[in-house]
């Protein structure tokens, strides 16, 4: 039995079924990401005054790598253009050209994930260190030439280290009994870190930049990881449609073209979410 309206539009909706289906799915996705964006705004507006990391729930600024974020944005914009060109190639009955553009799209998606992975790794090796004198600073730990991930003060105690080397971020925020202030650390122009040795006995707490460390990291990882999951989903579907399911082009070309249109709609939505995530998380 033939499935109706896979190619021709239904008379009542004017659309073929897959298009209705994908738009209903995207509507539910808008609600999901809409709720998360609303949460982000409410958390940020409700964040207390004061400098992060002295006030753990205060909103930190400048923690994300803007050049990398911008590059990733460019990668996703390019992927949207190539998925569009792939669909156009099918409309022009050029399957070879379609495959070429889809391959570029897939490569862009994988590149995006690799860069996101690099950014995540940088956060996992980045720490907020609170000292017993009441001050707090941020930076990367350097132990035997490598940057350890997910360490806490318990790890320091377990490893029985007397002191740790820290690549302290510039500018640094310190808290004093008289109030908060930015500490001006002497450094060369263009330098973003200075090396400093801290005795383990002086450390009150050591926390990596993970969701449990603060509200900002919780919402940042939730939103970007959910987005990354969508990218992975898109890669799997696009990869299948291009290389495994491509045989349908020979038997039912119109239906195949419609499927690619649905995939393209999903991909554009995922990219559009990033277009909003980027300025909200990285720039504002």
Partner 1 sequence: MSLKTFHIVFITVCVLLLLFLSGWAFSNSRQGGGILDAVWGSLALATAVALAVYGQRFLKRLKHISFL
Residues engaged in binding partner 1 (CB under 8 A): 14-15, 19, 23, 70, 73-74, 77, 80-81, 84, 87-88, 91, 261, 264-265, 268-269, 271-272, 275, 278-279, 283
Distance in Å, CB of 53 to partner 1, minimum: 23
Q: Between helices 17-45 and 215-239, what is the axis angle to 10°? A: 160
Question: Residue 74 or 114: which CB sits closer to partner 1?
Answer: 74
**Nearest to partner 1 of 125, 257 (CB atom):** 257
101 and 85 Cβ atoms separated by less than 8 Å: yes
Instruction: Find the shortest distance in angstroms from Cβ 106 to partner 1.
Output: 17
Shortest distance, position 88 Cβ to partner 1, whole Å? 7
Q: From CA 43, how far away is CA 192, in angstroms rounded?
A: 29
Q: How far apart are the first and last CA of the chain?
A: 55
Q: How far is the CB of 167 from partner 1 (least distance, A)?
A: 22
Nearer to partner 1, 127 or 249 (CB): 249
Distance of CA 2 to the CA centre of its chain: 42
- Nearest residue (CB) to partner 1, 206 versus 231: 231
CB of 284 to partner 1, least distance (A): 9
Residue 3, SS3? coil
Closest to 106 measured CA to CA, from 94, 95, 114, 118? 114
Where does residue 62 rank: exposed (0-12), middle (13-18), buried (19+ CB within 10 A)? exposed
- The nearer residue to partner 1, 131 or 272, going by C-beta atoms, is 272
Give Cα 197 distance to the centre of its chain.
32
Q: Minimum distance between the CB of residue 149 and partner 1, rounded to whole angstroms?
A: 30
DSSP assigned state of 148: -
How far is residue 238 from each of residues 18, 117, 241, 247, 275, measured CA to CA in Å?
16, 21, 5, 14, 21
Nearest residue (CB) to partner 1, 162 versus 188? 188
């Amino acid at each position: 039995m033939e499935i109706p309206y896979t190619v021709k539009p239904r008379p009542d909706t004017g659309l073929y079924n897959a298009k209705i289906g994908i738009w209903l799915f995207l509507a539910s996705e808008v609600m999901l990401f809409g709720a998360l964006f609303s949460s982000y705004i409410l958390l940020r507006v409700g964040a207390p005054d004061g400098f992060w990391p002295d006030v753990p729930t205060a909103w930190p600024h400048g923690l994300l790598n803007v050049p990398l974020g911008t590059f990733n944005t460019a990668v996703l914009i390019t992927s949207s253009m190539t998925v569009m060109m792939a669909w156009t190639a099918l409309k022009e009955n050029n399957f070879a050209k379609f495959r070429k553009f889809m391959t570029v799209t897939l490569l862009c998606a994988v590149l995006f994930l690799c860069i996101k992975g690099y950014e995540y790794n940088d956060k996992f090796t980045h720490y907020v260190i609170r000292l017993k004198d009441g001050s707090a600073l941020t930076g990367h730990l350097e132990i035997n030439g490598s940057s350890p991930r997910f360490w806490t003060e318990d790890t320091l105690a377990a490893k029985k280290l007397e002191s740790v080397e820290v690549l302290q971020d510039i500018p640094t925020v310190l808290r004093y009994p008289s109030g908060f202030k930015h500490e001006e650390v002497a450094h060369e122009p263009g330098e973003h870190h200075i090396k400093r040795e801290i005795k383990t006995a002086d450390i009150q707490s050591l926390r990596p930049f993970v969701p449990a460390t603060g509200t900002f990291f919780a919402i940042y990882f939730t939103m970007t990881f959910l987005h990354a999951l969508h990218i992975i989903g898109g890669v799997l579907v696009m990869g299948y449609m291009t290389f495994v399911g491509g045989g349908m082009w020979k038997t039912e070309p119109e239906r195949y073209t419609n499927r690619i249109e649905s995939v393209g709609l999903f991909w554009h939505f995922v990219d559009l979410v990033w277009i909003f995530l980027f300025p909200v998380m990285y720039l504002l």
